Structure 1
Amino acid sequence: MDLLTAILRASMASFYFVLICFCALLLRIFMGKSLKHPQYPPVMGTVFHQLLYFNRLYDYYTNIARKHPTFRLLAPTQSNLYTMDPQNIEYIVKTNFNKYSKGSHFHEILEDLFGDGIFNVDGDEWREQRKIASFEFSTRVLRDFSCAVFRSKAAKLAETILRFAAMNQTFDIQDLLMRCSLDSIFKVGFGVDLNCLEGSSEEGRAFTKAFDDSNRHLCLRFVDPFWKLRRILNLGSEGALKKNIKIMDDFVLGVISNRRKQMFELQSYNDKEDILSRFLVESKRDPQRITDQYLKDIILNFMLAGKDTSAGTLSWFLYLLCKHPLIQEKVAEEVREVIDCKENGTNINDFVEWLTDTALQKMHYLHAALTETLRLYPALPGDGRCADTDDVLPDGFRVKKGDGVFYLAYVMGRMTYIWGEDAEDFRPERWLDNGVFRPESPFKFVAFHAGPRICLGKDFAYRQMKIVAMVLLRFFRFRFADETKQVTYKTMLTLHIDGGLHLTTIPRVVFDKF
């Protein structure tokens, strides 16, 4: 009995301790947050609601935003403000750019993967990386080199799909696009041939899986108030994240070491085609500051921008084309007209040589369809800043110093008060004026962000997506492998299709040998 009594007392003590901790957490969440004050955005929940709805998180935000364009969710140390108002977004990311930073909270959450890379830093570090990257993206050398790589990888992708078609097999197009995009970004960005699409790189596939898993684990940190405790205890997603970081660190540091060795052996530090080589030139001038660890952070940041943006968008693009076969045929017809496929369209390797900048610029309907895809399924569904001072937004709501301020591209694409009553329809024509592509305000269409931190690789991404899309739709007609299967996203920092996108295809032409 004494033992049973002791166990019961210990259990009760543990219960009361947990209860007290939970109550203390609730008090910390709700106290000092101006809950009913009309000058602050309405409170629509807490981080616990985000955890509850994590697997459908962006739809959870969407349902709230239909009634409240600006609202708050409460966290232990601050309020997180979410706004879909383009005026507020312009104010945050441009007009008062210096009052809103990534901040220590964002940096701490993303640091394990992205370190001090361009997406995770402010101030002088951000300006330096952006200056170097901006120079690279503007050079003709990189543009010509990247186009050649994109054409080559698109041809290999088409050859891979043709083999599936010949055997009448289904395939996961998202997986193929991710591997193709990874090959492209490593070649263009870092001068390395991974050959993941052809399945010859075990290390490359392990790196990709580790990167994608880490992407989801970091997203969970934004809504999990206990992530630091789980990191200390090495539990659950935090334990898995630590293992994945080790895999990526070893792989990327090996890439840097090999690339530096190649440049040293060739005695060539000028006019390099790939982006990493440009940063290696800078590290040679200032090795104390631009270390291998710093270069690793830069690579992983470019990985997020280069692989997931293009491959993810193309996956959703093909999903939408399968849902709307008439639009698929309109894009294919534009390809035939622009390239004159009667003369130049039966051999894959010959066809890709016709995909010049001039040809890409004529693809207005394709550009509109890709942009419409990004409106509904943006590669980065949400982004945010931290308020560095108390402020008042254009819609009249107040922000407190330290509050997170988020804008959600996925949600904005579904708001009728931004895009009209057909906001949730896939309609590329909304981007066309007499057949010519017409852009919208970057504060309304925020898929590439806006203001000083607008995406440097926007044109780069469109170029890659157009080349791949033109090759695929010239040679194949795509259909769902299972028309009844519901397609949805996996909640991550970037918008992947959960479980992949399984398609079948029918060749549009009788192929020459290639």
Structure 2
Amino acid sequence: MASPHISELFTYLTFSTFYLLSTALALVFLYVFGSFLSFIIFYLQESIHSSHRPPVAGTVFHQLLNFSNLFDYLTNLSIKHKTFRLVKPSHSDIYTTDPANIEYFLKTNFSNYNKGRVNYDIMKDLFGDGIFAVDGEKWKHQRKLASYEFSTKVLRDFSTAVFRTKAAKLAKKIAEVAGSATGVDMQDLLMKSTMDSIFKVGFGVELETLSGTDDLGAAFSKAFDESNYMVFRRYVDIFWRAKRNFNIGLEGQLKKNLKVIDEFVFQLIQHKREQMESNVKDKMKEDILSRFVLASQKDTTMNDKYLRDIILNFLIAGKDTSANTLSWFFYMLCKNPLVQEKIVAEIKEVIEFENGGSIDGFVNRLTEEVLDRMQYLHAALAETLRLFPAVPVDGKLAEEDDELPDGFKVKKGDGVTYISYAMGRMTYLWGEDAEDFRPERWLKNGTFQPESSFKFVSFNAGPRICLGKDFAYRQMKILAATLLHFFKFKLKNESMIARYKTMFTLHMDKGLPVIPLPRFC
């Protein structure tokens, strides 16, 4: 029989636990109720005081409900309004597909529109103080260093050699299963290939994720891709900070992923420092990270954490954008076999390579001059980016009150976002066939004709325009030309309709199962 003291202690502990749980639940309820109440008040204020403001088309809760098809949801709203607002608890986000507005806040009045505190707070756990998340001196510093590197002939030649090597390696891997009914996940292979490429070009490290022998690299890549999705979801989850504090849900998993990412990247930086110290006489390396490490030796503010942030920003720019674009490119070629054959015909005409020749021999023919002559291939890649931009939405925050060219008022603290995914589908920009995949729209007398960067915003525009645009096209053309010369591609399931996974980059959900067939037997 339990003693009275033990019984009393048990009763006390039970009551205390119940009291603590009740208090915690009450606090959570008050927090949620208060958040909703403040949002309703703000929403009513924004709706009532809306003179010369973009129309309110929805709220952050509409975005949350439509998160799995968010970019199509925004496209449907854009068909009704070239410029509109979605209301959040703390501010309004203005969305636009109007090139005049986009030129205004990306270029003309660039100083009034920064990434801002809201974007920085959401992105900093993954991207830190990297170039895509910061403003001011940090952005200028990284932009200046990167701009110099991308303009050097040494880096251009080095990257081209790497792209050729990786393209040949990918083609040989596909050759092993070409014609097999099992097929391959094309997106997975492209992700691994471009990751191996950016680590070599950007960081001077030879990964083996494509060969499947680099477990650490594969774990890092998986953690990075998952984190891309989890961090982007914060834009529609008003309780993400609370979840992070309690380490629950996606925020709990994100924390684990960030640990994997940080351990891998800090080891990479340490290895790079040791490598450079052991080669004192040869410090001018070809890769980008070596240049940043050299700069850090003169600037004490560029510590390992800062280098980590730079690496992850270069990674999303160099891996995700090219791999995702190529995934959609091969998907569209499978859906449009005539376009696929037109590209193959152009490759044969330009390169004059003997059928049945070696893969290594072919990639060595892919010089800059040869690639520049592949105008139809370039147009097909641009057409892919028009419909499936690597970065489907991107935006800034207004530092001061302003007025857009279309006459709509902007308040200090408003988000201002361009929807490149929707823009590619606007008939007022591209004609009645806007949703058709038609590379010919980019050609005049067989020569590629670029569009305004404020109409075709796949590489950003203004002072923040992508420094790696030419590198991206070069890598994609080398990979595409190599694979299409040796293989014909068809979908494993001909009726497949590809969907995206909503994240910072337009990642194809559930991969791209294709069957590659050898062109030369």
Q: Which category of TM-score, normalised to the shorter sequence, fits these structures?
A: over 0.9
Q: Give the SS at the match of 1:360.
A: helix
Name the structure 2 match of 1:487: 498
> For residues 180-234 of structure 1, what are the alpha-carbon distances to aligned partners after superposition, in whole Å with 9 as ceiling and x for unaligned?
0000000000000011100110011001110100000111011111111111111
Name the structure 1 match of 2:141: 128
Structure 1: which amino acid aligns with 2:484? L
Alignment of 1:426-445 (within 5 A): 426-445=437-456
Name the structure 2 match of 1:105: 118
Task: Determine whether 1:305 maps to 2:286.
Answer: no
Alignment of 1:118-267 (within 5 A): 118-165=131-178, 167-267=180-280
Structure 1 residue 37: deviation in Å? 2.3
Name the structure 2 match of 1:375: 386
Structure 1 residue 169: deviation in Å? 2.8
Name the structure 1 match of 2:3: none
Structure 2: which amino acid aligns with 1:416? T
Name the CA distance, whole Å, in 2 between partners of 1:68 and 1:480. Answer: 36
Choose which of 322, 339, 352 in structure 1 pairs with 2:334: 322
Name the CA distance, whole Å, in 2 between partners of 1:265 and 1:17. Answer: 59
Task: Determine whether 1:278 maps to 2:285.
Answer: no
Structure 1 residue 22: deviation in Å? 5.4
Contact preservation (8 Å) 1:107, 1:121: yes
Choose which of 280, 295, 304 in structure 1 pairs with 2:307: 295
Structure 1 residue 124: deviation in Å? 1.0
Task: Determine whether 1:418 maps to 2:429.
Answer: yes
Name the structure 2 match of 1:501: 512
Structure 1 residue 484: deviation in Å? 2.2
Whichever of the two has the greater Rg, that structure is 2
Name the structure 1 match of 2:9: none
Name the CA distance, whole Å, in 2 between partners of 1:215 and 1:123. Answer: 24
Choose which of 483, 487, 492 in structure 2 pairs with 1:476: 487
Structure 2: which amino acid aligns with 1:200? T
Name the structure 1 match of 2:473: 462
- The verdict on how the C-alpha distance between 1:16 and 1:299 changes in structure 2, with shifts beyond 3 A counting, is closer
Task: Determine whether 1:45 maps to 2:58.
Answer: yes
Structure 2: which amino acid aligns with 1:159? K
Contact preservation (8 Å) 1:346, 1:509: no
> For residues 354-397 of structure 1, what are the alpha-carbon distances to aligned partners after superposition, in whole Å with 9 as ceiling and x for unaligned?
00000000000000000000000001101000000000000000
- The verdict on how the C-alpha distance between 1:160 and 1:390 changes in structure 2, with shifts beyond 3 A counting, is same
Contact preservation (8 Å) 1:269, 1:281: no
Task: Determine whether 1:396 maps to 2:422.
Answer: no
Structure 1: which amino acid aligns with 2:505? T
Structure 1 residue 20: deviation in Å? 3.9
Contact preservation (8 Å) 2:276, 2:283: no
Contact preservation (8 Å) 2:167, 2:479: yes
Structure 1 residue 36: deviation in Å? 5.6
Contact preservation (8 Å) 1:155, 1:352: yes
Name the CA distance, whole Å, in 2 between partners of 1:486 and 1:83. Answer: 27
Name the structure 1 match of 2:78: 65
Contact preservation (8 Å) 1:101, 1:386: yes
Name the structure 1 match of 2:40: 27
Name the structure 2 match of 1:386: 397
- The verdict on how the C-alpha distance between 1:381 and 1:133 changes in structure 2, with shifts beyond 3 A counting, is same
Name the CA distance, whole Å, in 2 between partners of 1:483 and 1:359. Answer: 33
Name the CA distance, whole Å, in 1 between partners of 2:440 and 2:53. Answer: 38
In structure 2, stretches of 5+ residues that fail to align are 1-14
Task: Say what the alpha-carbon RMSD is for the aligned residues.
Answer: 1.8
- The verdict on how the C-alpha distance between 1:20 and 1:181 changes in structure 2, with shifts beyond 3 A counting, is closer
Contact preservation (8 Å) 2:194, 2:322: yes
> For residues 237-271 of structure 1, what are the alpha-carbon distances to aligned partners after superposition, in whole Å with 9 as ceiling and x for unaligned?
11111111110000001011001101100114543
- The verdict on how the C-alpha distance between 1:269 and 1:126 changes in structure 2, with shifts beyond 3 A counting, is farther
Q: Give the SS at the match of 1:32.
A: helix
Structure 1: which amino acid aligns with 2:117? S
- The verdict on how the C-alpha distance between 1:341 and 1:19 changes in structure 2, with shifts beyond 3 A counting, is closer
Name the CA distance, whole Å, in 1 between partners of 2:289 and 2:28. Answer: 54
Name the CA distance, whole Å, in 1 between partners of 2:317 and 2:488. Answer: 28
Name the CA distance, whole Å, in 2 between partners of 1:32 and 1:295. Answer: 43
Structure 2: which amino acid aligns with 1:365? Y
Task: Determine whether 1:91 maps to 2:114.
Answer: no
Structure 1: which amino acid aligns with 2:503? M
Aligned residues: 502
Name the CA distance, whole Å, in 2 between partners of 1:269 and 1:345. Answer: 41
Structure 1 residue 29: deviation in Å? 3.6
Name the CA distance, whole Å, in 2 between partners of 1:89 and 1:374. Answer: 18
Name the CA distance, whole Å, in 1 between partners of 2:356 and 2:166. Answer: 18
Choose which of 384, 406, 410 in structure 1 pairs with 2:417: 406
Q: Give the SS at the match of 1:258.
A: helix
Name the CA distance, whole Å, in 2 between partners of 1:96 and 1:375. Answer: 25
Q: Give the SS at the match of 1:278.
A: helix
Name the CA distance, whole Å, in 2 between partners of 1:160 and 1:57. Answer: 35
Structure 1 residue 167: deviation in Å? 4.2
Name the CA distance, whole Å, in 2 between partners of 1:474 and 1:21. Answer: 61
Structure 2: which amino acid aligns with 1:294? Y
Contact preservation (8 Å) 1:374, 1:447: yes
Name the CA distance, whole Å, in 2 between partners of 1:166 and 1:61. Answer: 40
Name the structure 2 match of 1:55: 68
> For residues 46-71 of structure 1, what are the alpha-carbon distances to aligned partners after superposition, in whole Å with 9 as ceiling and x for unaligned?
10000000000000000010010100
Name the CA distance, whole Å, in 1 between partners of 2:44 and 2:140. Answer: 37
Name the CA distance, whole Å, in 2 between partners of 1:167 and 1:206. Answer: 28
Name the CA distance, whole Å, in 2 between partners of 1:487 and 1:264. Answer: 48
Name the structure 2 match of 1:446: 457
> For residues 136-168 of structure 1, what are the alpha-carbon distances to aligned partners after superposition, in whole Å with 9 as ceiling and x for unaligned?
111111011001100000001001111111544
Name the structure 2 match of 1:359: 370
Name the CA distance, whole Å, in 2 between partners of 1:41 and 1:476. Answer: 50
